[in-house]
Every structure is written in structure tokens, then in C-alpha cells.
Structure 1
Amino acid sequence: MEEVAFFIAEGNPADKHSQESVAFVSSFQTPQQYASFRQADCPRHGAALTGVGPGERLFTTSKSKALLNVYSWGKGIDQRIAVPEQLECLSLVSHPSANNGGGLKESGGNNLPLFRVPWLLAGGSKSGRIYIWELALGNLLCVKDAHYQGISVIKFSDCGTFLVSGGEDARVMVWRTLDLISVYNEEISVKPFTSFTDHTLSVTDLIILSSGIINDLKLYTVSRDSTLRVYDIMTSKLLTTYITSVSIECITKDPANRSLYIGLTNGSIRTIPLYQINPNTSVLESVGGNSKIITLDHDPNLTNTFVHHQQKVEATASLHKSLNKTKDEEDKPISVTCLDISMDGTSLISGDSAGRVFVSDIVTRQVVKSFPPCNSSISFIQTFFIPQHIIDNNNPSSINKSDKKHRLIPPFKRVLASSKPSEHILNLEIPADLSVKEESFDEWLNNKAQEELQFKNLGSIDSSITLTSVPKTNDDSARIQDLESKLAAVSEAYTDLRSQHEKLIDHYSKKD
């Protein structure tokens, strides 16, 4: 098993060199590059990757058209799907009954067919609407006016219970997923589960911190008003507010919920510990709570700050040409646009507005690896694991094999799905190899006979009769006499045993 990073650039539709942009899937520890998607670009939070390996897909939105681009693993761009309006951000969620996002689910010894694509795809538009499609059929399940301005980020919770959207109107809306897709119940008036209006400028990023308990869902939102706010979703309460000196562009969390990492517009990455030792009691205590406001002090010693993105790009003509940077653009400050963290919490992956992506060690805050720069700002970063059964130890490039069972995604509908369940047609893919072996009719009859016998054997003695073949002999009379003598002996013994049993019963009955 190996961990990889997927990152994609923002691109520029007005620049012809933007079509040369490439999205990469590269390893952390080795120089191996597992996949690349040609002519792939998207706005901030405008990409969604289903996974790593054959059969997976990449969804990206277009910056200038009402289109959704679908890339197949190992085959490049596969489809261009028209949508009702231009989308700004995307998010995927798998079906609750799926095991790790697709394939076949084993239940009761049988392989139940599931979809080869995730369950729902949610998109936020420039007009503030939320669109939700069912990928297996392309049905439009929801169109909801959620924000007064464009939606900048939209994400499902890990369990799929909630959908959270943040917009340029500085509002954060929390929705129940089942309420949004309940097209079969016309009586339901879709309302947000809760909303937060504490920010004063546009929301740039958010994460949903799940501890495995639905009642302990925490929501972290960042905004250009230089604040990071922590909410409890179930109680709709503001827990903590962190204030910085510059605007915040992105956020990620430690897998063990020990700290947060925020990317700032001045090119620095700030670490926010969620727990600290009380100097008076020497006890580890949580930071914040009870609507507490915490101001992050200046860090002159860089104990909690990463500054490798603040290094300017070298002003060489060849590099300017490769990155499509003019001198005026080079003088602008470099901001951190995307963040993600490895599963063990030791490596931080960050991208900036200059198109650079770095992997830095969290303990030493030093860069351990840098990827080839892109020609525009990084718009999306996400880490994945490559399962060991996909990677060939002798040939790591085998992961680039295309899916032989690849099928196109149905075109997305532009009108809402019908409210009649009878008109909802579902396509399933029958698995090729079933775990249940085929049996003949005679074997089926024997199995049924054994099952019937199990109901008759109420005691501990097995009353099943086994038929054995008796060899045929010429002297049938001798065989018959032998069997008759054995039968007479058994009958005499049975009669004697019965008489003894009756005597014992009479004796003990008189005694009582």
C-alpha cells in the first residue's frame, strides 16, 4: 500500500497555454508518477476524484462553460456532460451500503452487484444553487437556491448524512442529504438543518471533523475575513473563533484531531494546536470552547509556521514562459491555495498560486519533495491510497491499465426526476464470478433431503439410513437363511430386553 497525491491546476481559459495543463497522481516517497490527465483544469474546489486505479473517474467543472468534464483512468478525457449552468465546486458521496466506494459487496456468501461509480454528485453554481445528480442514471434529484451569491465550496460529511455549502455571501448552510434528494415525497419542504452567518466575507474552505459519532460532528470554516470558526453541527453552536492577521484561503486537519493547518494569502501555513498542556496543572487540555475568541500571535521564531511558499519564483525568461507569468504577476504575493495531509499525519501537501506543490515534514517544517510546477494556480489537492492488489511489485506502471468493463456515465438530466417511484429505473451490473457454485439437480435434491432430515432428528441419535449394496451370490437360499437367523436373534434379544424393562417398571411402581 502506497500513498499518493492528486493535484490539478486552475488554468486560464483566455490563455492558449492553459490547454497544456495536466493533473497528476504522484507518490510521496518515490519519484513514481502513476497517472496524468491531459487538458485538465478547474476552478477552486471544482474537481472530484472517485479513487485511484482502473475504473476510477475524475470530474472537473469548466471555468467558462456550463460543462462537466469526465476523465477515465488511463484513457484521458472521456465525456463532456452539459449541465444547466456553470458550476464552481463539486463533491462526491458513496452509497451508505457500499464498501469503500464501489465494486462488489459481500453479504451472506453472495456477491451483490453495486455501481461502479459513487452514489451522488453535488455541485454549487455561480448563482447560488445546489444541484445533486444520481450518477448511475444521471437523474437530477435536487435543485435548491441555497445562497444569495455564488457557492465557493461544497462538501459531504464522511457518513453522507449532511451536505455543507459555503458561499461568497459569507453564509454556511448545513443540509440533510435525505431531505435534498427526497423527490418521492412532495410534502417535504426542504429547509436547511442549520445555518451559520458569523463570517463577514466570502467563505473560502471548510472541513467536517468526524469522530465516528453523529452527535459529535464539528465544522471548521475559514473566510477572507481572517477568521477560522469552529461549530458543533448538531447543537448549531459556535465553539471557538481563531483570528489571524491575514486572509485564510484553505484548511486541513490532522487525522488524529491534534491540530489544524491553515493556508494564508501571504504564502505561509500556520499550525493551530487543538490541545495544549496547562502550565499550572501539567494536564493536557483542549483549546477553545464556549464561544471563546483566540487571536493567533505573531510567530517570529517560526515554531508553528511554514514559510517555504513565500520564496519567490526565479525570474528567468524560460520559467516565466513555462508558467505563463508576466513580471507584474510575479510581483504579486504568493498565496497558499490548497492543503492536505497524509494519513499518518507526518507529511503536509500544499499548493500555491504560483503552481507549485510541496511535500513538507510537519515536525521539522522542511520541504522533503517538490513536484513539477503547473502553469497556473493549484485549485485542488487530495491524498489517496493505492491498494496493494492494484500495484504490481515488479511493474508499478500496471496501475495505468484501463478498465475493461468501462462504461460511459449517462447524460445528466436538466429537469427534476419524476416523483413516481415506478418511473425510477435502476441499472445494476451483474458480477461475472459468483461465490455460490452451480449445482446439479440431483445435488439439489440430496441437499433438500438432508435439510428435511435435520428437522426430523429431534434427538441426539441420527436416524439417517444408509443403503449399502449387498454382493450378489449364486446361493441365495443360504444368504436368506443367514439373514433370517440374524433377524430371529435380534427379535429374541429385543423381546427379552422388553420383558426385563416391564418387570423393572412394575417393581418400582409397586415400591412407590
Structure 2
Amino acid sequence: MDEQLIFTSGTSGTVGTLHSLDQSNLRQCQTETRFSSCIVKRKYLFVAQSKKALIQVYNLNGSNKRESVEQRLPVPEVLQTIECVDEDGLLLGATDGGKLYIWQLASGNLLNVKAMAHYQGIVKIKSICNGKYIVTAGNDSRLIFWQTMDLVQNDEPKPLFIIHDHTLPITDFVFSNTLGHTLEGKLYTVSKDMSLRCYQISVNHEPHCISTFTFSSTLNCISLDPADRAIYVGTDSGVIQVPVYYTISKSMIVNLLQHSKTKIYSIVETTPGSLEIDSSTKEKMLHMGQISCTRLGNSAATLLATSLDGSLLVIGDSTGKCTVTEIFSNQPLKEVRALSTNDSTGAVTNLILHPITQESESLLEATKATKPWKFINLQRAVVDRKTGINDVHVQFHDTTVHNVQPVSNFESYLDSVAAEEHIFHQTDSINSTVHRVGQLQTQASAAAPAAAEGASSDKNDLFKTKDKQIAQLNGTVASLTDAYKELRKMHEDLMKEHQELLNKTKGESK
């Protein structure tokens, strides 16, 4: 298993892997807005074009994967950000004017349009709790929780919660990994007002801010450790690692996200290689509301992503490259750039990191490609809910022949094949019969005597086999008895000779 790395910029799109050197470019992929791409059905990439009212579909996995555009889906307006709900259920798109579109992918129907979801442009859309809730953040400094069913069924859906603590546009947000089927966990938001806020969210009460972290520069993006141990914040001067459990000394660790009361902390950056602050100084700084945090890298980060095991951090910067950095040692492992002749392709606008299963490297591969999936064109007019049930188009794939896995040990493979062949050749106890129409009564009448005769013959064969085995055992016992007698006789003769030699030696000594 590997992790697929997908990132786009203003003039290019790149697909690679985190732990190998595989890399390919997506053709005609141009998007200048962040969060304008999403994964659909775990193999298709939707990219909203920044200057056209168009969504381009790319096939990333399987026998039909290719670098060119697989399909083009026209939309009513230029979309700034998109999100897929429940992998292939709903497609949400937002415009620069704060309008929110909701499509059904299986039918292509436009289910609803929320004209004023935000007062200004929507920056990011996120689906949580298996598609039960939709969270949107905008340039109006607001973050809104929506119920998916309300967006689909109601003409004028009402927000579930609204967070408006930030004073400048929200740039990014992320939820804790403990968030499951229910709305119960933590929410982290970053803004241009140079603050990081942590909220405790629950379906039973309004979101409650439990901690606020202030920085010295604008915050562009955020990522979270898979175990919720650290928060990674991208700024114009680099990436800041904010520990959730702040270590003062070996015997003192402070939880910075306590529910009892709201805390405000000021971040003090420390560069790698600088002198480490002693425990007493850290304790004094904590009492003054200051915490020391490590800076990872010096490039202006636009997007961040953490690996599945939490050991690697992918930093997308303003020059259009992605740097894979080991968090523990703070060392860059590799840089991934777009395959382009230009010095810079623009800032990284989309960064997706998700696990994939590597295909077999065997030379024996399936030669027959499956038919590519075709999405239904997205409608421009809202569907009439009074009509009731609508048609849903589903395309079934042909049965594919899986690739033959490579053989690592040829000798063991031959042994297993020989064992299987030996089993198939053991057909002595297998009786095959064919029943024909009109012969069932004859077979039923002859079944009783045939069964009795077969039982008696089987019994005689069993007795003969047992007699043969007993005779073989008797012969073995007899041969062993004779051998034992011979050995005993040899032993007695040797003891007699030994005694005679002893007596002779004693007589000579006297």
C-alpha cells in the first residue's frame, strides 16, 4: 500500500506517490483557486477550472487511467471550490459570490441552489460524519454548519451552527480524527487575522472555543496529526508545529486544549538548531501565555497534508512544488515538481493525499480494458420536487481479470502446484453419476440392493485391508525381535571377553 499525492497549480496538475518516484502530469489542468478538486469513487479526480464554467474529470486508477481529460461536465457558473459527499452521492460547488450548488451525481439533477449561503465567496466545503453535515467557510469570516438533508429537501435551508469569531477571512479548517458518525469532536480554524482557534463541537450545543493561538504572520493552511498530537500551521515564513500536549520537562506535560476554560496562547517560533529552552523558562513563558513551537521549513506554505502514519508532512508552497518532510528529524526527503519547462507554475492550489493499493508488477497483465465510467451531465435548472421519484442512471462495469501476482519463490510455487495436482489425481473414492429423465424410478428401485451389495463389498475390503496391515505389523515385530536377540548375544560375548581380560591382568600382576 502506498499514498497517492495529487497537487495542482495555476498551469499544471501532477499525480505521484509518496514512497516512490512515479509521476505523471494531468493535461489541460488549470485552476487558480484552492480546494477546487475532489476525489470521486476513489479513482476519479474532479477539477473545477478557474476561468471556465467547467469541471474536468480525470481517471487516476485502473486499466483506463490516463493523463488526458476523461470527461468534461459543464456547470452554470465558474466554481471556486467543490466537494463530493459520500464518495459518489452528491456534488457541491460554490462560487465567488457565496452561492452554493447541490447536484446528485447518479442522475445529474440540480437538487438545490442556496443563493446567499455566505455574504462573500466560499473558500472551502467539507463533508463530515459520513455525509450527514456540510461545513462551509467563506471570506465573510464565517464558518457555517449545514444539515445535508435540509440542503437537499428544503428550498430555504437554515444553518445548524454559525461561527463568526474571526475578524478576517477564514483560509482553512480541519476536524479532529476522532470525529465519527456523530457530531462530537474538535474543530480547528485558521484565518488571515493571524489566529488559530480550536472549538469543541457537539450536536447538542453551540460550538465552544477552548483555545486560541496567535501568530506573528498570516495563516494560510492547517493540517492535523492522525493521532491528534500536533497541529501544523502554514504561514508565509514556513510551517509551525503546535503540540497539543506541551512538554515543559520530563515530569510535566500540559494539555493546551482543556475544556474547563478558554486559553489564549502566543506562539514563539524556534528555528531548528537553535538553543533549547530550559524547563524553568518554559514554565515562566507558559504562565505568561507563551509557548515555544518549532518551525518546519522556510518556504511560504499554501497547503499541507499529513501522511497516514503521521511521520511525513507534505508542504505545498507558493512556487508550485511539494516538499515531503520527515517530521521527527525535520529533514526534507524529496521535492516533487510539475513536469514543466517553466521555472514556476504558480502556487499549489490543491493538495490531496490518500492511500491506494499498488497494482501487481507482474508481466502477465490483463489485456482487455474495461469500459470507462461516464458521468451524467450536470443540469442547470433545479429539479421539480413535486414530480417525486427521479430516474437514477447506474453503469455496471464488466468483470475484469485481475493481474497475476508475481512469484517471489519459484520452488515453493512448483511444490504447491504439484500438491494441487496430486490432490486432483486422487479420484479413486469419487463416484460420478449422471441422472437422465425417465430413469429415476429404475434407479430408485435398484438403489436398495445396490447399496447393500456396495456396503458388503466395502466391508470385505476393509477387513482385507486390516488383515494386511496386521500381517505387516507382525512381520515388523518379528524382524525387530531377531535383531534384538542378535544384539544381546553380541553384548554377552563382549562382556565375557572383557571379564577374561580382567582376570588375566590380575593374575599377571600377582
Is the contact made by 2:211 and 2:256 (CA closer than 8 Å) also made in structure 1? Answer: no
Q: Is contact 2:129-2:181 (8 Å) kept? A: no
Q: Partner of 1:31 in structure 2?
A: 21
Corresponding residue number in structure 2 for 1:93: 85
CA–CA distance in 1 between the matches of 2:5 and 2:230?
Answer: 21
SS at match of 1:126: coil
Partner of residue 197, structure 2: 229
CA contact (8 A) 2:83 2:126 kept: yes
Read off the aligned partner of 2:50 and give its amino acid letter. K
Amino acid of the residue matched to residue 206 of structure 1? F
Alpha-carbon shift at residue 90 of structure 1 (Å): 1.1
Q: Secondary structure at the match of 1:420?
A: helix
Residue 372 of structure 1, aligned match among 333, 337, 351: 337
Counterpart residue number, 1:217: 185
Read off the aligned partner of 2:169 and give its amino acid letter. S
Matches within 5 A, 1:45-124: 45-50=35-40, 56-73=43-60, 74-75=65-66, 76-94=68-86, 101=87, 118-124=88-94
Amino acid at match of 2:376: P
CA 340–148 in structure 1, closer or farther in 2 if over 3 Å, else same: same
**Distance in 2 (alpha carbons) for counterparts of 1:216 and 1:472:** 70
Identity %: 30
Closer/same/farther in 2, CA of residues 274 and 408 from structure 1, 3 Å limit: same
Cα distance between partner residues in 2 of 1:360 and 1:261: 12
Offset at 1:283?
5.5
Paired residue for 1:194? 161
Distance of aligned partners of 1:162 and 1:469 in 2 relative to their CA distance in 1, 3 Å threshold: same
Q: Does 1:2 align with 2:7?
A: no
Which amino acid in structure 1 is aligned with residue 30 of structure 2? D
Please, which of 183, 205, 217 is the counterpart of residue 246 of structure 1? 217
Indicate if the aligned counterparts of 2:132 and 2:149 stay in contact, CA closer than 8 A. yes
Maintained 8 Å contact 1:139/1:413 = yes
1:142-153 superposed matches below 5 A = 142-144=112-114, 145-153=116-124
- On the 8 A contact 2:269/2:294 being kept in 1, the answer is no
- Which residues of 2 match residues 264-279 of structure 1 at below 5 A? 264-266=235-237, 268-277=238-247
Equivalent residue, structure 2, for 1:203: 170
Scaled by the length of structure 2, the TM-score of the pair is 0.67
Against the structure 1 CA distance between its residues 472 and 8, is the aligned structure 2 distance closer, same or farther, given a 3 Å change threshold? Answer: closer
Give yes or no for the alignment of 1:132 onto 2:102: yes
Question: What SS does the corresponding residue of 2:383 show, helix, strand or coil?
Answer: coil
Which stretch shows the higher mean deviation, 346-355 or 295-304? 295-304
Report if the CA contact (8 A) 2:371-2:398 is conserved: no
Letter in 1 for 2:394: L
SS in 2 for 1:296: strand
1:344 aligns with 2:309: yes
Q: 1:371 to 1:419 in 2, by over 3 A?
A: same
- Which secondary structure state, in structure 1, belongs to the residue aligned with residue 159 of structure 2? coil
Deviation at 1:407, TM superposition (A): 3.1
CA contact 2:141–2:168 (8 Å) conserved in 1: yes
Cα 1:348–1:395 change in 2 (3 A) is farther
Residues 265-311 of structure 1 deviation map (CA, whole Å, 9 limit, x = unaligned): 22x1001111234759646635344322111123245684345343x
Amino acid corresponding to residue 62 of structure 1 in structure 2: Q
Aligned residue runs from structure 1 range 385-396, under 5 A: 385-388=355-358, 391-394=359-362
The letter for the 2-side match of 1:271 is: Q
The superposition leaves residues 383-440 of structure 1 with CA deviations (integer Å, 9 ceiling, x where unpaired) of: 122224xx113369x89x9962213211111121221363411223456569xxxxxx
Give the 3-state SS of the residue equivalent to 2:29 in structure 1. coil
CA distance in 2, matches of 1:227, 1:377: 22
Q: Is the 8 A contact 1:204 1:222 kept in 2?
A: yes
- CA drift at 1:148: 0.7
Q: Quick one: distance in 2 between partners of 1:137 and 1:423?
A: 11
TM-score, normalising length: structure 1: 0.67
| Per-residue deviation, residues 30-77 of structure 1 (Å, max 9, x unmatched) | 2122x431121222111112366xxx2211112222222222332421
SS in structure 2 of the partner of residue 86 of structure 1: coil
Partner of 2:255: 285
Q: How big is the shift at 1:170?
A: 0.8
Task: Tell me how many residue pairs correspond in the alignment.
Answer: 375
Shift of 1:173: 0.8
1:174 equivalenced with 2:145 (yes/no): yes
Query: Secondary structure of 1:214's match?
Result: coil
Unaligned runs of 5+ in 1: 12-17, 95-100, 102-117, 311-334, 435-442, 444-466, 474-512
SS in structure 1 opposite 2:270? Answer: coil
Corresponding letter in the other structure for 2:371: K
Q: CA, structure 1 residues 64+215, in 2 after alignment: closer, same or farther (shift >3 Å)?
A: closer
Q: How far apart are residue 80 of structure 1 and its match?
A: 2.7
Distance 1:196 1:432, change over 3 A: same
The structure that has the greater radius of gyration is 2
The CA distance in 2 between the partners of 1:419 and 1:4, in whole Å, is 40
What are structure 2's unaligned runs of at least 5 residues? 277-292, 339-343, 401-434, 436-442, 450-510
Q: Could you tell me whether the CA contact under 8 Å between 1:241 and 1:292 is conserved in 2?
A: yes
Change over 3 Å in CA distance of 1:138–1:403 after alignment to 2: farther
Q: Secondary structure at the match of 1:297?
A: strand
Q: Deviations over 1:462-511 (max 9, x none)?
A: xxxxx9433799xxxxxxxxxxxxxxxxxxxxxxxxxxxxxxxxxxxxxx
Question: Which residue of 395, 410, 432 corresponds with 2:376?
Answer: 410
User: Equivalent of 1:425, from 391, 402, 421?
Assistant: 391
Cα distance, 1:378 vs. partner? 0.6
Match of 1:355 in 2: 320
Is this contact kept in 2: 1:273–1:287, CA < 8 A? no
Higher relative contact order (CA 8 A, sep 6+): 1
